[in-house]
């Protein structure tokens, strides 16, 4: 077996949008008279929008109607989008474009597999739309991470078996999704205690395609 495809998570792997999510979820917390901490925000990484609100409601103990939930989700996203719309290509993590180019030149297929329903808008702001063979976002599958649907659809779009793919992820939800889908994974970032990855790299400057190939 050999490495045929890389499936990249977006938020936290190609760029940092967690800070924008945090500002927006904090506002939601305020509406519920609940102080959402940065540590709790970490637990929302890779988790879909609706599922994130469900977690915040559980932590806060607040009980609200379905209509109020929808309203909060809408307003949270509007706020998040005002941050996203200020993003520029300078916010792509250092070394990503070089790694991705090298992977493509060596015949490896590349895709995005993100829980975010705003993934295409973010990729557009980063000027990366033409850099991938496929893009799968949170609006394209029934289940979000930690279920494997997003990554399995990405593998299918690339025409690769999941066992020939490598997921690069920063969240536990994403690592669990990869494992459930029978896909090997690399943990991206400096977080400790996350489970399921075959290797960890702290930045794209550390990414070594030859080492990734040896995982297969």
Is 197 near ligand B16 (CB under 6 A)? no
**Binding test (CB under 6 A) with ligand B16, winner from 29, 46, 146, 181:** 46
Part of the chain binding Mg ion (CB under 5 A), chosen from 7-15, 61-69, 133-141, 160-168: 7-15
Catalytic status, residue 11? yes
**Binding test (CB under 6 A) with ligand B16, winner from 3, 32, 36, 44:** 44
**Could you say which of Mg ion, ligand B16, none residue 114 binds, taking C-beta under 5 to 8 angstroms by partner kind?**
ligand B16
Coil vs helix vs strand at 182: coil
Tokens linked to 116: 């975010």
Residue 102 host element (H or E): helix 96-105
DSSP string, 12-73: TTTB--HHHHHHHHHHHHHHTT----HHHHHTTTT--HHHHHHHHHHHHT----HHHHHHHH
**Binding test (CB under 5 A) with Mg ion, winner from 122, 137, 170, 184:** 170
Q: Which is nearer to ligand B16, 47 or 72 (CB)?
A: 47
Q: How many residues bind ligand B16 (CB under 6 A)?
A: 21
Angle at 152 between CA 149 and CA 153, to 5 degrees: 85
Rounded to 5, what percent of the chain is helix, strand, coil?
Answer: 50, 10, 40
Asked whether 80 and 117 are in contact (CB, 8 A), the reply is no
**Binding test (CB under 6 A) with ligand B16, winner from 3, 11, 160, 185:** 11
The binding site for Mg ion (CB under 5 A) comprises 9, 11-12, 46, 170-171
The binding site for ligand B16 (CB under 6 A) comprises 9-12, 21, 44-49, 52, 77, 114-118, 138, 145, 171
């Amino acid at each position: 077996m050999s490495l045929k495809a890389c499936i990249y998570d977006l938020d936290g792997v190609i760029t940092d949008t967690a800070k924008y999510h945090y500002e927006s979820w904090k506002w939601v917390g305020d509406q519920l008279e609940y102080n959402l901490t940065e540590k709790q925000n970490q637990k929302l990484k890779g988790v879909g929008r609706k599922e994130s609100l469900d977690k915040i409601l559980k932590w806060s103990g607040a009980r609200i109607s379905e209509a109020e939930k929808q309203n909060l989700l809408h307003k949270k996203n509007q706020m998040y989008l005002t941050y996203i719309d200020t993003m520029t290509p300078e916010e792509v993590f250092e070394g990503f474009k070089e790694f991705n180019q090298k992977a493509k030149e060596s015949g490896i297929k590349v895709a995005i597999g993100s829980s975010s329903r705003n993934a295409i808008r973010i990729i557009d702001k980063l000027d990366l739309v033409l850099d991938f063979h496929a893009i799968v976002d949170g609006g394209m599958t029934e289940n979000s991470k930690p279920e494997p649907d997003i990554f399995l659809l990405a593998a299918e779009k690339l025409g690769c078996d999941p066992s020939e793919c490598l997921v690069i992820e920063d969240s536990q939800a994403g690592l669990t999704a990869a494992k459930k889908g029978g896909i090997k994974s690399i943990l991206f970032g400096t977080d400790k205690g996350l489970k399921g990855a075959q290797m960890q790299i702290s930045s794209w400057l550390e990414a070594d395609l030859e080492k990734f190939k040896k995982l297969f």
